[in-house]
């Protein structure tokens, strides 16, 4: 479901402009892959449909290194890890704890995997001291080193040729203290081996980031929120007026809700915030959307010309609070809107709580 980064781009002469950009441009190749469901797709589907909810008791395994429990009540491991709890790497016997035979040529046909782990509150920094791996005239690798520094269950950057001094540090988006390194000398077994590579890994401190989040919990003493309501949102405590809204807040004591108890088909209720600067934002929030009628909750961005639908949920989402995150690329003066539309009967109360808007992507 991922479009190419240039899909629908504006053409200027013979050049097409990008319509999407990744935070880390070294990972933009991921958007052009056509490899079916990846590890994290399967993880999200398993979680969303509660496929492993029946796995309980002593038979429920404890998965390590980013693995998760699948519908068979077994650990589903990131590619490159195996065994019952994802604690063992898939690797050739010749690999050991370093590149085979360095600095002499490695045995062709070898495939190695190394999992590098730092303390839980630190990052992993990898440095290439020396690398020599063969490639063709189009700079396509015959043999390569793959560095999974973003998420260990996601394909990483592939390196070949000759280089020294290149570094990668794990990102804070996933298993930030884990890095996976893979070496493939099997893809082109008919090609001569290079020397391989020599690397060093160290633990690195996480950078201190100033928290520029705006938080709305609806709790006293202010009872306020950086979003401005239009008068159709109400403060809730305990049960909402109908028996089909939340019985408690997501956190704390209070929440905001739109009342569907009178059974009338109302105009949408809106909360609005005008962004002060042009940048990427992450909007996270808890929401409650229950009842048999088709209530609708959405996140929109509005500029002087258009309203952009960024996220929506509709209908009965179950008798519990849910969490959502929405990436918003906004320009100064744009409006971010939380829009709730109750249905035509009294079962369609809609509620939100713990709204957080922060700079950067989710």
Q: Is residue 4 situated within a structural domain?
A: no
Phi and psi (nearest 5°) for 244?
-110, 5
CA 137/CA 120 separation, integer angstroms: 42
Contacts of 56 (CB under 8 A, 6+ apart): none
CA 124/CA 290 separation, integer angstroms: 43
Beta bridge partners of 274: 335
pLDDT, tens digit (0-9, with 9 covering 90-100), for 195-252 = 999 999 999 998 776 667 789 988 876 666 899 998 889 888 887 766 677 888 988 8
Shortest CA distance to 347 belongs to which of 256, 252, 210, 244?
A: 244
Task: Please state the domain count of the chain.
Answer: 3
pLDDT of residue 341: 87
pLDDT of residue 358: 92
* DSSP state letters, 279-317: EEEEEEEEEEE-SSS--EEEEEEE-SS-EEEEEEEES--
CB atoms within 10 A of CB 332: 10
Tokens of 202: 């160290």
98 and 22, same domain (yes or no): no
Lowest-confidence region among 76-85, 167-176, 269-278, 318-327: 167-176
Q: Is residue 5 situated within a structural domain?
A: no
Q: Show the domain range for 30.
A: 11-86
175 and 272, same domain (yes or no): no
**Strands (E) located in 88-166:** 88-89, 111-117, 122-133, 144-148, 157-159, 161-163
Q: Return the higher-pLDDT residue of 86 and 37.
A: 86
Instruction: Please give the helix or strand (H or E) that residue 41 lies within, else none.
Output: helix 39-48
Q: Is residue 6 situated within a structural domain?
A: no
Last residue of a domain, one of 205, 239, 261: 205
Task: Give the torsion sign (CA, 18, 20, 23, 26).
Answer: negative
CA 41/CA 223 separation, integer angstroms: 39
pLDDT, tens digit (0-9, with 9 covering 90-100), for 101-114 = 888 999 999 999 99
Share of the chain above pLDDT 90, in %: 54
The torsion of the CA quartet 328, 330, 333, 335, rounded to 10 degrees, works out to -30
First-to-last C-alpha distance (Å) of the chain: 19
351 and 274, same domain (yes or no): yes
pLDDT of residue 213: 79
Shortest CA distance to 133 belongs to which of 86, 166, 94?
A: 166
Q: Is residue 30 situated within a structural domain?
A: yes
Beta bridge partners of 341: 296
Q: What is the DSSP letter of 141?
A: B
Q: What angle do CA 340, 344, 345 make, to 5 degrees?
A: 105
Mean pLDDT on 319-335: 92
Contacts of 156 (CB under 8 A, 6+ apart): 146, 147, 148, 149, 150, 180, 182
pLDDT, tens digit (0-9, with 9 covering 90-100), for 285-307 = 999 987 655 678 999 999 989 99
221 and 341, same domain (yes or no): yes
pTM above 0.75, yes or no: no
Q: Is residue 309 situated within a structural domain?
A: yes
Q: Is residue 339 situated within a structural domain?
A: yes
Omega into 159 within 30° of 0, i.e. cis? Answer: no
pLDDT, tens digit (0-9, with 9 covering 90-100), for 114-130 = 999 999 889 999 999 99
pLDDT of residue 209: 63
Last residue of a domain, one of 187, 205, 223: 205
pLDDT of residue 266: 65
Using an 8 Å Cβ cutoff, are 185 and 110 in contact? yes
């Amino acid at each position: 479901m991922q479009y190419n980064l240039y899909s629908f781009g504006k053409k200027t002469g013979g050049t097409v402009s990008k319509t999407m950009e990744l935070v880390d441009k070294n990972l933009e190749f991921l958007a052009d892959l056509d490899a079916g469901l990846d590890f994290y797709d399967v993880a999200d589907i398993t979680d969303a449909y509660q496929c492993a909810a029946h796995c309980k008791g002593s038979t429920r395994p404890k998965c390590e290194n980013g693995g998760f429990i699948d519908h068979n009540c077994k650990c589903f491991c990131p590619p490159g890890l195996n065994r019952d709890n994802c604690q063992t790497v898939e690797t050739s016997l010749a690999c050991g704890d370093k590149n085979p035979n360095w600095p002499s040529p490695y045995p062709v046909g070898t495939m190695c995997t190394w999992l590098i782990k730092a303390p839980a509150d630190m990052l992993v920094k990898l440095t290439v001291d020396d690398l020599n791996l063969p490639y063709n005239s189009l700079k396509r690798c015959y043999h390569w080193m793959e560095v999974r520094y973003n998420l260990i269950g996601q394909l990483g950057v592939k390196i070949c040729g000759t280089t020294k001094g290149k570094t990668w540090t794990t990102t804070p988006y996933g298993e930030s203290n884990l890095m996976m390194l893979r070496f493939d000398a099997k893809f082109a077994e008919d090609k001569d081996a290079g020397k391989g590579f020599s690397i060093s890994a160290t633990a690195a401190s996480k950078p201190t980031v100033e928290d520029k989040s705006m938080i709305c919990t609806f709790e006293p003493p202010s009872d306020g929120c950086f979003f401005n309501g239009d008068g159709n949102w109400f403060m809730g405590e305990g049960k909402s007026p109908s028996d089909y809204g939340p019985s408690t807040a997501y956190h704390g004591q209070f929440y905001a809700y739109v009342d569907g108890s009178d059974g009338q088909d109302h105009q949408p209720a809106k909360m609005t915030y005008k962004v002060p600067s042009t940048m990427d934002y992450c909007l996270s929030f808890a929401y409650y959307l229950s009842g048999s009628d088709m209530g609708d909750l959405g996140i929109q961005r509005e500029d002087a010309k258009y309203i952009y639908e960024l996220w929506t949920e509709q209908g009965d989402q179950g008798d519990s609070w849910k969490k959502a995150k929405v990436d918003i690329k906004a320009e100064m003066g744009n409006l971010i809107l939380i829009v709730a539309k109750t249905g035509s009967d009294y079962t369609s109360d809609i509620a939100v709580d713990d709204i957080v808007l922060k700079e950067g992507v989710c």
